[in-house]
Chains A and B, each alone.
Chain A
Amino acid sequence: MTRLRAARVGEAGVDLSADAPLVDVDESSLPRRPVRNSAEREGVRFDVRRVRADFPILTERVHGKPLVYLDSANTSQKPEPVLKAMDAYYRHANANIHRATHLLSERATQLYEGARAKAAAFVNAPDLHSIVLTKGTTDGINLVAQSYGRLTLRPGDEIVISWLEHHSNIVPWQILCEQTGATLRVAPINDLGEVDLDAYAALLSPRTKIVAVSHVSNALGTINPVREIIGPAHARGAVVLIDGAQAVPHLPVDVQALDCDFYVFSSHKMFGPTGVGVLYGRPSLLDAMPPYQGGGDMIASVTFEKTCYNVVPYKFEAGTPNIGGVVGFGAAVDYLTSLDREAALAHEDAVLEYATTRLREFPSARVIGEARQKTGVLSFVVEGVHPHDAGTILDREGVAVRTGQHCAQPVMDRYGVAATIRASLGIYNTRGDIDALMRALTRVVEVFA
């Protein structure tokens, strides 16, 4: 049992019209088995039309064309249950959490802690105390760097990252190196866009204190073999942070099976609102770590002489958090777990494979990143056309993609391109979306012919 008070976990949502009592959460009762949605009850494991109907923005028209949204790796769209949960929170429960005795504060606290419990179940965390609610992936990485990193690193120590990392998993470590005298080492990738595991193992030494790698690359879509990265790091006594921002919308994640020390992700890439994220931390590490920011809610008692910090995870949650966003995030977790994730992933993989095949057939296109294990992302360039120009023309055809460096300049340099066009997928994308992309690419080539 835990002392955390949480909403009735396991229900599809909290009914705000009733005064649901606060309950102590027996963690063994946290949902492992997703609630099946209506399509599945009818025997359809994944019905993309029904999923699309859950996302109101997908009926939007842009520049007079139907929206074809292929930018989910940038941020995902939000389904109706997430929008409704946030709306209901502000209409019926808005109050500050953990600090008032009135009913609205109880409701808000219950919803906020309920979302923490949902997040814990979502990544199979051993304990609600191991889930710190953050502003997002970047915030989580900075928290670990500034709290764990500054506590433990000494001059001469090393941090190992991979060449695939985006700026959020590079710069916080560079700052930490400047502060502590540690050195940043980078594991190279092969031409396919996969981390070279032999070269990675060769970088590890007793000096290695932290390894930080992405679970899925945002620029190329490569799924990193994180277990094969974590094992050797642990053998050298290093702790491992996995950046799961691009993984959670696609892959089931089990932090205990991975045996990682920290796992960070963002709500907004997994159909929840922006400004919310999760840091999972191994409880023994979180307990020993100093606070990252000071403020309200992270303290047990304050006098001008001495302040006693609150327990984990509250020690790391200074100030009034994004409560409405956290409520929306909780609804996003419910939404994702209500789907048959295996069937959803199979659908996404089929669309990605279709897109890859179509692009390889497209005369002037070159796919960047052809890892054997990929999900959700297709980066490419079109000969003779700068990605930025392509992006503008695609937009006018209704097709939303990202063009540029994807906050991963070293990856671009590795492939000798200034930028790429990146089409990225969510559970709501279809082969029809890829057909629309290909038609729009034909238009791009016509303009520049």
Chain B
Amino acid sequence: MSDLSELYQEVILDHNRRPRNFRVIEGPTHHAEGYNPLCGDRLKLYVNVEQDRIADVAFEGSGCAISKASASLMTDALKGKTVADARAMFERFHRMVTTPPDQTVEDLGKLSVLAGVREFPVRVKCASLAWHTLKAALDREEQTSTE
């Protein structure tokens, strides 16, 4: 049971219940839609980049607790970061959730609560959906998919 409570930590349950930055940004500089056909999770991500910094970021959509909490935590973490920082964070987050559970991972602050997903291989895509969508938005792709 310990790995289950490791996955569904209070922080994750809280972000699932009350997702932060859960709204639409009208006319964003970047946006993308993410879709995980395995479970039907779907999210739209809006990013406003001003002078190479993320001035505002928000999302909407429906999904499981892991994908919603991950998107919520991501938007909180991204505000004020440069685009280069955001891309680096994508890489670090991706490395964290894909590292085998018996190996140590870098501390990513609040985002580290999602490291528990490593014990649940089929849920890794849920945690990374928002981040793949961010990458797609920054790359100006219209839609992304974790498949």
The CA of A426 and the CA of B24, in the complex, are separated in Å by 46
A386-B64, A392-B123, A396-B1 given; A418·B40 CB < 8 A: yes
The CA of A385 and the CA of B13, in the complex, are separated in Å by 11
Tell whether, in the assembled complex, residue B40 and residue A405 are in contact, meaning their CB atoms are under 8 Å apart.
Answer: yes
The chain A residue sitting closest to B3, CB to CB, is A396
Please give, as numbers and ranges, the residues of chain B lying within 8 Å of A448 by CB-CB distance.
Answer: 8, 13, 65
Q: Which one of A388, A418, A419, A447 lies within 8 Å of B126 (CB-CB)?
A: A388
Asked if B7 is at the interface of the complex by the 8 Å CB criterion, the answer is yes
Query: A180: shortest Cβ distance to chain B, in Å?
Result: 28
Tell whether, in the assembled complex, residue A447 and residue B8 are in contact, meaning their CB atoms are under 8 Å apart.
Answer: yes
A392-B120, A404-B38, A404-B39 given; A418·B62 CB < 8 A: yes
Asked if A412 is at the interface of the complex by the 8 Å CB criterion, the answer is yes
In the complex, which residues 375-392 of chain A have their Cβ closer than 8 Å to any Cβ of chain B? Answer: 385-389, 392
User: Of A385, A393, A418, A448, which is in contact with the most chain B CB atoms at under 10 Å from its CB?
Assistant: A418
**Does more than half of chain A's interface fall in helix, strand or loop, or is it mixed?**
helix
Please give, as numbers and ranges, the residues of chain B lying within 8 Å of A267 by CB-CB distance.
Answer: none
User: Of B39, B41, B42, B62, which is in contact with the most chain A CB atoms at under 10 Å from its CB?
Assistant: B39
Tell whether, in the assembled complex, residue A386 and residue B65 are in contact, meaning their CB atoms are under 8 Å apart.
Answer: yes
The chain A residue sitting closest to B39, CB to CB, is A388
Query: A241: shortest Cβ distance to chain B, in Å?
Result: 26
The chain A residue sitting closest to B65, CB to CB, is A389
Asked if B74 is at the interface of the complex by the 8 Å CB criterion, the answer is no
Query: B38: shortest Cβ distance to chain A, in Å?
Result: 6
Please give, as numbers and ranges, the residues of chain B lying within 8 Å of A409 by CB-CB distance.
Answer: 40
The chain A residue sitting closest to B62, CB to CB, is A418
Asked if B66 is at the interface of the complex by the 8 Å CB criterion, the answer is yes
Tell whether, in the assembled complex, residue B4 and residue A388 are in contact, meaning their CB atoms are under 8 Å apart.
Answer: no
Asked if B80 is at the interface of the complex by the 8 Å CB criterion, the answer is no
User: Of A388, A405, A412, which is in contact with the most chain B CB atoms at under 10 Å from its CB?
Assistant: A388
The chain A residue sitting closest to B36, CB to CB, is A388
User: Of A392, A393, A448, which is in contact with the most chain B CB atoms at under 10 Å from its CB?
Assistant: A392
The CA of A65 and the CA of B66, in the complex, are separated in Å by 24
Asked if A403 is at the interface of the complex by the 8 Å CB criterion, the answer is yes
Q: Which one of A385, A393, A396, A403 lies within 8 Å of B39 (CB-CB)?
A: A403
Tell whether, in the assembled complex, residue B38 and residue A389 are in contact, meaning their CB atoms are under 8 Å apart.
Answer: no
A392-B123, A396-B1, A448-B13 given; A387·B8 CB < 8 A: no
Instruction: Kindly supply a per-residue 1/0 record for chain B positions 61-75, scoring 1 wherever the CB is within 8 Å of any chain A CB and 0 otherwise.
Output: 011111000000000
Please give, as numbers and ranges, the residues of chain A lying within 8 Å of B1 by CB-CB distance.
Answer: 396
Instruction: Kindly supply a per-residue 1/0 record for chain B positions 52-68, scoring 1 wherever the CB is within 8 Å of any chain A CB and 0 otherwise.
Output: 00000000001111100
Tell whether, in the assembled complex, residue A419 and residue B39 are in contact, meaning their CB atoms are under 8 Å apart.
Answer: yes
Please give, as numbers and ranges, the residues of chain A lying within 8 Å of B64 by CB-CB distance.
Answer: 386-389
Please give, as numbers and ranges, the residues of chain A lying within 8 Å of B63 by CB-CB distance.
Answer: 386, 418
A386-B63, A386-B64, A418-B62 given; A392·B7 CB < 8 A: yes
The chain B residue sitting closest to A409, CB to CB, is B40
Please give, as numbers and ranges, the residues of chain B lying within 8 Å of A386 by CB-CB distance.
Answer: 39, 63-65
The chain B residue sitting closest to A447, CB to CB, is B8
Query: A124: shortest Cβ distance to chain B, in Å?
Result: 38
The CA of A332 and the CA of B128, in the complex, are separated in Å by 41
Q: Which one of A389, A412, A447 lies within 8 Å of B40 (CB-CB)?
A: A412
The 3 closest A-B pairs by CB, nearest first: A386-B64, A388-B64, A418-B40
A residues lining the B interface (CB < 8 Å): 385-389, 392-393, 396, 403-405, 409, 412, 418-419, 447-448
19 new A-B pairs (CB below 8 Å) besides A386-B63, A393-B8?
A: A385-B65, A386-B64, A387-B39, A387-B64, A388-B64, A389-B64, A389-B66, A392-B7, A392-B120, A396-B3, A396-B4, A404-B39, A405-B39, A409-B40, A418-B39, A418-B40, A418-B41, A419-B39, A447-B8
